[in-house]
């Protein structure tokens, strides 16, 4: 089972690998999520409305 389409899964996999592939542990989940979002935000341009 996967959450999201193949493109979203591939994007999340790439982001996870680019932050060093940390193990997903409950205690580290939020930190890993924030690192992935910060990396993604560096990779894309977001307009004034916050839409891609």
- Distance, CA of 45 to CA of 52 (rounded, Å): 7
Residue 36 in any domain: the answer is: yes
Residue 23 in any domain: the answer is: yes
Single pTM value for the model? 0.64
CA 45-49-52 angle, 5° bins: 40
For 26, left (φ over 0), alpha (ψ -120 to 50), or beta? alpha
Residue 10 in any domain: the answer is: yes
Q: pLDDT by residue (tens digit) across 4-51?
A: 899 999 998 999 999 999 988 889 999 999 999 998 888 885 544 555
What is the domain range of residue 38? 6-43
Instruction: Give the number of domains in the chain.
Output: 1
Residue 52 in any domain: the answer is: no
pLDDT of 2 above 70? yes
């Amino acid at each position: 089972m996967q959450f999201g389409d193949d493109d979203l899964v591939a994007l999340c996999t790439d982001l996870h690998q680019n932050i060093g592939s940390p193990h997903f542990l409950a205690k580290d989940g939020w930190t890993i999520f924030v690192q992935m979002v910060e990396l993604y935000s560096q990779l894309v341009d977001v307009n004034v409305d916050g839409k891609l």
